[in-house]
Amino acid sequence: MIHNLMEGVVENFLDDLLAQHPEVCRCSQCRMDIMAAALNRLPPRYVVTTKGEVYSKINMLVNQFRVDVIGAIAHGMMLVAQNPRHPRPEITLEAEERPRAGGDE
């Protein structure tokens, strides 16, 4: 069976990066959108055999590879944060919700 190793690599790095950025939505839709954006910026690493998988994984240990993957994921996180495909949650301040003391409304 043919497999793109980059999908697993991006997913593993995404978990680490999301842990460092709590402001980014973690819903399944946003995760898939971030991964798709990152994978579109990275070259695929298709393998068919175990030997090909081992060879590709060794090449993935190179520092520049890690930098490229992290950069692509960061770009995807930025794109999805700016344009989520679901409504953004409403943020309200507690002070705005409570009536003021003294009846100055």
Q: Is residue 94 part of a domain?
A: no
> Is a pLDDT exceeding 90 seen at residue 56?
no
Q: Within a domain: residue 53?
A: yes
| Alpha helices (runs of H) in 1-100, residue ranges in sequence order | 5-20, 28-41, 50-59, 63-82, 94-97
Q: Is the pLDDT of residue 98 over 60?
A: no
In a domain, 101, yes or no: no
- Residue at 36 is within a domain: yes
- Segment 29-47, tens digit of pLDDT: 999 999 999 999 999 988 8
Distance CA 43, CA 20 (A): 25
Question: For residue 22, is it within any domain?
Answer: yes
Determine, yes or no, domain membership for 65.
Answer: yes
Q: Is the residue at 81 inside a domain?
A: yes
- What value does the mean pLDDT take over residues 68-91? 86
Name the residue range of residue 13's domain.
3-85
pTM, 2 dp? 0.70
